[in-house]
Amino acid sequence: MTMERPLTPTTSPDALAPVLRDIRAVVFDTDGVITDSARVHAAAWKTAFDAFLRAHPPADPARRLPFDVRDDYLRFVDGKSRLDGAAAFLASRGIDASDETVRDVASDKERLFTERLRAHGVDAYPGTVRLVRALRRAGVPVAAASASRHAGELLARAGVRELFDVLVDGGEAARLNLPGKPRPDLFLTAVDRLGVPAGRAAVVEDALAGVEAGRSGGFALVVGVDRAASGDSGERLRRHGADIVVRDLAELLVRGASK
């Protein structure tokens, strides 16, 4: 569980940076934004995809590259449902996969992810926890949203589920038949449950498909979180719809400022 350092009597609470002061609600993606579970997802995808590619190598030798946990993860699977992510990556390797094959690869990834999650758990990013607490102190409602059916478990294991007023996860998305990112329906459902129009709210995302969803959903502010900070990763987030890009969400706070 992530623990915050208690504030001393002489320290004022974190205040929101000016870019957030007109925002009336915030929707946070889960993996890679609230929790460090993106690395667990990426590792599970790599094991599943690499095993499939070894057993079924693409016809084109140039496409027989193993899954890259940074570039391929961000481009093809991050922020998407398991089935959409599996189909997108296999297509990138020139594989015309059947629905059954896509389901098999996605199921293998699900098994691997669940095993690693139960064995090792996840943590919440301290900067994210600080920002969520500052938003709550300012009276700004917050939601967590994720294409993953594990989002509730992830937040609970990280000790932060109670910080979020609303959670819309992959199970809820399936029940409501919500299309996946880059469609904005997941985020729009979350902000609607907070009672705030998208035009007065912000989305915080680390995935290219996620910032696209925030932009197409008409959110007032789309924040891209660039954990990798490598190559052109930040610029790609901007090109796909992020208004601003930060490496850590503590950058959206003014440390020790008065409320």
CB-CB contact of 250 with 126 (8 Å): yes
Distance between CA atoms of residues 88 and 107, nearest Å: 15
Task: State the alpha helices, DSSP H only, in 93-160.
Answer: 99-120, 126-137, 151-157
Catalytic residues: 29, 31
Question: Using a CB cutoff of 8 Å and minimum separation of 24, what contacts does 139-142 make?
Answer: 140/16, 140/20, 140/23, 140/24, 140/25, 140/26, 141/25, 141/26, 141/165, 141/166, 141/194, 141/195, 141/196, 142/25, 142/26, 142/27, 142/28, 142/166, 142/194
The three-class DSSP label of residue 69 is coil
Tokens of 201: 């709210």
Alpha-carbon distances of 35 from 2, 51, 110, 146, 257, rounded to whole Å: 10, 27, 18, 11, 26
